[in-house]
Structure 1
């Protein structure tokens, strides 16, 4: 893995975490959020600061390796396609927090979570095509996003008439 690639991937993922975290911040403890009806399978708030850093680290490492592995002589299109897929994924990732916590648009947040899930699955597919089985370590990311989609959708459903 090239240091330049891992540095760029780490910077992009860190930026995503900071932008999403800025929207979440104290909003996750706000009166509005506490008053939302939530399903019984809602994880405790202490889970999120553990899960997300692990996922972000995995995204950066797997993506950097896949970007380097997708280099081919004379054809940079696979690498560019993977970089575009990663960029779209990180944009969706950061957007969810802003849509849910800052804009309080629960239905749109559920749709964004679904798009993030599809994007995460596509990113995992592309990384696996570039790097082989080692990229399958990214699989928990779309799985977590699918769970987040179910959770977001359920929260929207429970609070849709408010």
Structure 2
């Protein structure tokens, strides 16, 4: 991943070094992701929050810019299903995701055994890994507790 900074000028320089034009939309999206606490955001959420800050940009532009930033290595795409993805600043550190199918919460985890196994499988099949995603989908403990609250004990 190209080096990043929270300075808009340095962000623009990093985009240009990565072969991008450094458009206002690219700077806005990357700047937003850099300024937020680490998180996972839908394209719609990124668009809405940037627009709330006064930046004028079409949703289709947001999707196009996210695709460009993924291709350049600034942003990672976390696919969640057939037509749904979340985006996060690409830290360059291998990690995977736990996704609650009820509330949509996403938690990151990293497991050295899974990482080693992934590499071994790729080697076995002669695959040069250029990207990877592992998202385990389920119901988080909070949602499970709301769906099946503990029963009061009889006295």
What is the TM-score when the length of structure 1 is the normalising length? 0.28
Structure with greater helix percent:
1
Larger radius of gyration: 2
Q: TM-score of the superposition, structure 2-length normalised?
A: 0.29
Which structure's relative contact order is higher, taking Cα pairs within 8 Å and 6+ residues apart?
Answer: 1
